[in-house]
Amino acid sequence: MSEDPITKSHAADFPQDEPRIGVYVCHCGSNIAGVIPPEEVVDFAGKLPGVVRSIDTMYACADSGQRLIKEDIAKYGLNRVVVSACSVRMHEPTFRGCVAEAGLNPFLMEMANIREQCTWAHGHDRAGALEKAKDLTAAAVAKASFLTPLNMIKVPVTKRAMVIGGGVAGINAALDLAEQNIPVTLVEKEPTIGGVMAQLNKTFPTMDCSI
Amino acid sequence: MVDAARQPLIEVKTFTEVEKVEGYVGNFVVTLREKTKYVRADRCNGCGACTKACPVEIPNYFEMNLAPRKAAYIPMSQAVPLIYNIDMDACIHCYKCVEACGALEAIDFSMEDKLVEQEIGAIVVATGFSHFDPTPMTEYGYGRFPNVITAMEMERLNNSAGPTNGALIRPSDGKSPKQIAIINCVGSRDKRYNPSCSNFCCMYAIKNALLLKQMHPDTEISIYYIDIRTPSKGYEEFYDRARESGIRFIQGRPSEITEDPDTHQLFISSEDITLGKVIEREYDMVMLNQAAIPQPDQNHMSSVLNVAQSPGGWFMEYHPKLRPIDSPTDGIFFAGACQGPKDIPASVAQGSAAASRASRILHSDSWQIEPTVAVVWPDRCVSAKGQACGICARACPYGAIDYTKGLAAEVITAKCHGCGACVGECPHDSITQLHYTDAQVLAQIRTLLAVEPEKKILAFRCQWCSYGGADLAGTSHFEYSANERGLRVMCSARMDADLIYEAYRLGAGAILYSGCHPQDCHYITGQVVGAKRAARLEKIFERMQMSPGRFRVEWISAAEGDKYARVINEMQASLDAIPEDVLKAEIERLRPEMAKKLTKLDEIPGVAQALVQVDFIVNEMVGKEKVA
C-alpha cells in the first residue's frame, strides 16, 4: 500500500499486482433476485479474467454478507472486491469499510449498481435487466482490475461553526454547538434573530408562547 | 432567542449577509457583509429615545405592514440584540435621533457596510422559508377585499404584542368579527403555484381557530380543507379538541370569495364533500392559510453555498432517507424549513441534528477527504517544455492549479476537490484523476460496449446529480430501456472528449452526456466546463452527419428521476427510428474519423497496458478472440 496518497512518481498509474478479484452479487431479498437470477450473474462473473471468487449473497450489506467478504479476502488472497448490489450513494462507504477491516485498501473496492439502476428500473424487461446486470458487473470487474490503493487526505479543522439564519432551527443549532464548547457565529440578515417564530402568537401543540 | 445572545460562545451577527463561501470541510472561509445599522452596537443601550424623536413613519414589515414604525427602529420590542437601526431608505436626515441620543453618541451616519472574513470548520444552513403571497389568486380577492387577510396578518392581529394589542378587529370597519373562515392550502397542493403540501398549515389553522375560540368564545369559526393532516404526536388529539370545541370543518376547496361592497361582508362558495353539494356561507372575515415557499433569495444562497435545490426550490439533502441533514457538500448541513416546510418541533429537532452532524467534524483535530484528486505528469506537460498553455488552471473552479510557463503545472492537493475539469480539458492528456483514471474509465467503456454496442445507450453521469437522478428513477420504479449502460465520473467536466470518441469508435449506438444543472454544480463551475465541451462535441458530430439523437446532452438533477427515465426512453425511441443497416453503416463510416481523433490515447500512462488486459475480459464476454 502506498504511504503517500498522491504519488507524484505515478507508481499508481497502473497496478503492480496481478488482480485477484472477488465478486459478490447481492439478492437484496427480492429487490434484485425478484427480477433477475443472481446465480447467472455469479456464473458469468466467475469466468471473467482476474476473478478468483464469485458468489451470491442474500444481503451483502448485512453482517453475514460483510463477514463473507472479509473471510474470503483472507481465504482467497483477494486484492480487489466487486460488490454488485445497490447504489454507491447507499453503500459505498459500507463496503469500503468492510474491505478495510479485512486489511484491503478501501479504494480497491468497486460497486456495480444492479438495484436502483437495473432491477428497479427494468422490472418490465427481465432478460434485458439480466444482460445489463452482467455488463455492469463486468465493467466493475474491469475497473477493479486497474484500481490502485489510495489513502484518504487529512485536512486540519478550524474549530468554529457558522449558523446561517437565526430562526428557531438556527438558534437551536447554535445553542447545541456552543454548549459543546464550540464557538459559533450566528448570522441573521434581519436586524433581530427570531425568524418567523418571533412573529407568531401561541404555538401548537402546547399553545405556549413562541418567544 | 435571549439564550443565544447570552451564550458567550455565540457571536450573534444580525443585519448581516453571507457574500461568499470558499474552501472545503474543516477549512471554509466565509465572507460576511455586515450591513450598517448607523447605530454603534458598542454604544446603543436600547433606550429607544431615537425612535421617540424620529418623525418618519413607514409600514412595519414585522407587523405585516398593519402598523407603522419609525425610520429609527427595532422591528419588535423583544429584538435580540437590542440595538436600534436607522432605515436609511426612509430617513429624512433631520438628525432628531442624534439629538435624542445625546451624550451616548451611538448614532453615526458615517458608518458603512463592512466585509469580514471568518475561518469556519462547518456550516449549518438554517435560512428558513417565506410565505406565499395570495394576491395572484384573484378568486379569493386578497388585496381587493379588506377583510380577507393572510395567516401571518391574523397572527399579528391576534397577538397581545401586535398592533392592536391583541384586539381582534376586521380591517374594513374595526368591528370585532363574529363569523370567521379559515381557508387551507392557499397556494399549496395547487398545481398552479406549489403542488406540494406545506406540512404544518393544517395544525396551524387549528391552532388559530382554537386560539380565537378561546379568546372570543362567541365567535364561530369554519375551516375549509382538502384533507386534515395531523400525523405527529399529539396532533390528532389537538384536532379532536378543536372539533369538540365547536369549530366547523368543511371539506372542500373554496372556488370563490365575493364581497358586498357596502358592508364588506364576504361570501365563500365551496363544495361541501360531506353534504355532497355546493354551499355558500357568509363571513365577517376570512383568513387565507398561505403556503410555505422557499425564501426569495434561496436561488442566490444556493449558488453562494454551492448546494442544489429540490423541485420546488428547497435545498436538497445528500440523501432523503439516509443523510437527510447533510448537504451534498461535506461540512455543510441543513436545519429547519430551508430544506422543506417544517413545523417548530421538527425545526428544533433538525437544529439539534445539524449541530450534532457538524460537531463530529468540529470535535476532530483533522478530517479526511477523498483522495480522488488530480495529478499532473510533469514530463507530459507542455508548459514544462516551454509552450504557453495553462488550460488546466483556467478550467479549475478552485484555483487549485499552479501554472507558470516553463514549469509543469502543479495541483495543490488541499485545494483540489476532484472534479476532473483539468483532466477533461488538458489537450495533451498530461493530467489524470486518481480513482477515475483514463485507464479505469476506458476499461468500463469497453466492457459496457462489449456486446452489441450499436444497441447500447452509454450514459455518462456525474456522481452528484445525474447519477442520483438515475438512482431516483429506479427508487421510484420509473421504467426505462434496459439498453442503457451507465458509468459514473465525479463531474461532467471530467467527461473527456476522448472518452466519447472512443465509445463511438467502439460502435456505441447512442451516448448521453449528463450532469447537473449549472446552478447546482457541486464544483462551482465544473458543469460550465462540461457544458462547453458538450456543445463543441455536438457541433463536431453534426459536421460528421451523425444521426440525430445519437448524442444527447442533458442536465438532470438528483431529484429528476422522471426526467432521467424519460430521456433514456426518448433516446431509445430515436435509436429505434434509425434502420439497423443505416445505423451500422453510419458506425462504420464514423469509426475511422473517431479513431483519427484518438491517435494519442495509447500514450497516456497506464492506458495501453489496461486495454490489453480489458480485451481479455471483453473476449470472455463476447466469447470470441478479436474485438474491434
Distance from CA of B207 to the nearest CA of A (A): 6
CA distance A195 to A169: 9
Decide if A207 and B210 are in contact by the 8 Å CB cutoff.
Answer: yes
Residue type, position A176, single letter: D
Residue B207 and residue B343 in contact, taking contact as beta carbons nearer than 8 Å: no
Say which of A134, A161, A192 has its CB closest to residue B121.
A161
Q: Which three cell numbers stand for residue B285?
A: 372575515
pLDDT band at A78 (very low <50, low <70, confident <90, very high): very high
CA distance B65 to A137: 62
Which residues lie across from A21 on neighbouring strands? A51, A80
Q: A19-145: which CATH number, 3.40.190, 2.60.40, 1.10.3470, 3.40.50?
A: 3.40.50
Which pLDDT tens digit goes with each residue over A45-66? Answer: 999 999 999 999 999 999 999 9
Task: Scan residues 132-161 of B and list those with Cβ closer than 8 Å to A.
Answer: 152, 155-156, 158-160
CA distance A12 to A4: 10
Q: Write the secondary structure of B391-410 as one string of H (helix), E (strand) and C (coil).
A: HHHHHCCCCCEECCCCCCCE
Q: What is the mean pLDDT of residues A200-204?
A: 84
**H helices present in chain A, as ranges:** 30-33, 38-46, 63-75, 88-101, 126-145, 168-179
Query: How many residues are there in chain A?
Result: 211
Cα B458–Cα B460–Cα B462 angle in degrees, nearest 5: 155
CA distance B558 to B310: 8
CA distance B285 to B540: 65
CA distance A210 to B468: 39
Nearest CA in chain A to B337: A169
Decide if A185 and B13 are in contact by the 8 Å CB cutoff.
Answer: yes
CA distance B176 to B216: 9
Position B445 scores a pLDDT of: 97
- Type and span of the H or E element at A120: none
Radius of gyration of the CA atoms of chain A, in A:
24
Sign of CA dihedral B470, B193, B223, B169: positive
Q: What is the mean pLDDT of residues A123-132?
A: 97
Decide if B486 and A117 are in contact by the 8 Å CB cutoff.
Answer: yes
Name the 3-class secondary structure at B586.
Answer: helix
Phi/psi for B469 (5° steps) reads -65, -40
CA distance B136 to B142: 8
Query: How many residues are there in chain B?
Result: 628
Show me where the domains of chain B are located: 130-293, 374-433, 438-622
Say which of B434, B471, B565 has its CB closest to residue A12.
B434
Residue A171 and residue B351 in contact, taking contact as beta carbons nearer than 8 Å: yes
- In sequence order, what E strands does B309-423 have? 332-334, 366-369, 374-376, 401-402, 410-411
- Listing DSSP states for B407-440 in one string gives S--EE-TTT-----HHHHH-TT--EEETTS-HHH
DSSP annotation of B190:
B
Average pLDDT over all residues of chain A? 92
Q: What is the mean pLDDT of residues A22-31?
A: 97
Check pLDDT > 50 for residue A6.
no
Position A13 scores a pLDDT of: 67
Check pLDDT > 70 for residue A10.
no
CA distance B366 to B89: 47
First and final C-alpha spacing in chain A: 57
CA distance B119 to B105: 33
CA distance A133 to A88: 15
Contact of B86 with chain A, judged by CB distance below 8 Å, is answered with no
List CB contacts of B17: < 8 A, sequence separation 6 or more. A187, A189, B32, B33, B35
CA distance B64 to B411: 53
Q: Is B191 exposed, middle or buried (0-12, 13-18, 19+ CB in 10 A)?
A: exposed
Nearest CA in chain A to B61: A199
CATH topology of domain B374-433: Alpha-Beta Plaits (3.30.70)
CB atoms under 10 Å from CB of B240, counted, come to 12
Q: Could you give the dihedral angle defined by the CA atoms of residues B358, B362, B366 and B367, in that order, rounded to the nearest 10 degrees?
A: 0
Name the 3-class secondary structure at A133.
Answer: helix
Residue type, position B252, single letter: G
CA distance B549 to B160: 65
User: Nearest to residue B106, comparing CAs of B38, B169, B206?
Assistant: B38
- Listing DSSP states for B447-512 in one string gives HHTSS-GGG-EEEEEETTTHHHHHHHHHHTT----TTEEEEEES-GGG--HHHHHHHHHTT-SEEE
DSSP annotation of B194:
B
CA distance B483 to B193: 37
CA distance A182 to A157: 12
> Where do we find the cell 361592497?
B261
Q: B130-293: which CATH number, 1.20.1250.20, 3.40.50.1970, 3.50.50.60, 3.40.50.410?
A: 3.50.50.60
Which residue pairs from B68-75 have beta carbons closer than 8 angstroms and sit at least 24 positions apart in sequence? B72/B97, B72/B107, B74/A191, B74/A192, B74/B46, B74/B48, B75/A190, B75/A191, B75/A192
Position A28 scores a pLDDT of: 97
Position A3 scores a pLDDT of: 36
Distance from CA of A154 to the nearest CA of B (A): 5
Instruction: Give the residue from A35, A147, A155, A206 with the most B CB atoms within 10 Å of its CB, the best one to mutate.
Output: A155
- Stretches where chain B sits below pLDDT 50 are 626-628
Q: Write the secondary structure of B502-535 as one string of H (helix), E (strand) and C (coil).
A: HHHHCCCCEEEEEECCHHHCCCCCHHHHHHHHHH
Instruction: Count residue pairs from A and B with Cβ separation < 8 A.
Output: 422
Task: Scan residues 10-29 of A and list those with Cβ closer than 8 Å to B.
Answer: 10, 12-14
The helix, strand and coil proportions of chain B, stated in percent and rounded to the nearest 5, come to 35, 25, 45
Phi/psi for A170 (5° steps) reads -65, -45
Check pLDDT > 80 for residue A102.
yes
Decide if B437 and A146 are in contact by the 8 Å CB cutoff.
Answer: yes
CA distance B495 to B472: 22
Contacts of B238 in chain A (CB under 8 A): 204-205
Position B2 scores a pLDDT of: 84
Residue B292 and residue B186 in contact, taking contact as beta carbons nearer than 8 Å: no
Phi/psi for B423 (5° steps) reads -65, -45
Decide if A128 and B481 are in contact by the 8 Å CB cutoff.
Answer: yes
Q: Do domains B130-293 and B374-433 have the same CATH topology?
A: no
Which pLDDT tens digit goes with each residue over B486-529? Answer: 999 999 999 999 999 999 999 999 999 999 998 778 888 899 99
Name the 3-class secondary structure at B268.
Answer: strand
CA distance A69 to A72: 5
User: Nearest to residue B26, comparing CAs of B274, B351, B361, B392?
Assistant: B361
Distance from CA of A118 to the nearest CA of B (A): 7
CA distance B501 to B510: 12
Instruction: Give the β-pairing of B256-259 and B266-272.
Output: antiparallel
Residue type, position B226, single letter: I
Residue B447 and residue B468 in contact, taking contact as beta carbons nearer than 8 Å: no
Position B178 scores a pLDDT of: 96
Task: Scan residues 23-62 of B and list those with Cβ closer than 8 Å to A.
Answer: 24-28, 30, 32, 37, 62
Contact of A196 with chain B, judged by CB distance below 8 Å, is answered with yes
Give Cα separations from B305 to B110, B337, B496, B519 (angstroms): 32, 16, 27, 11
Instruction: Give the residue from B471, B506, B572, B627 with the most A CB atoms within 10 Å of its CB, the best one to mutate.
Output: B471
Decide if A142 and B366 are in contact by the 8 Å CB cutoff.
Answer: no
CA distance A84 to A59: 11
Show me where the domains of chain A are located: 19-145, 161-209
Decide if B359 and A180 are in contact by the 8 Å CB cutoff.
Answer: yes
Contact of A55 with chain B, judged by CB distance below 8 Å, is answered with no
- Type and span of the H or E element at B302: helix B298-305
Which residues lie across from A164 on neighbouring strands? A187, B125
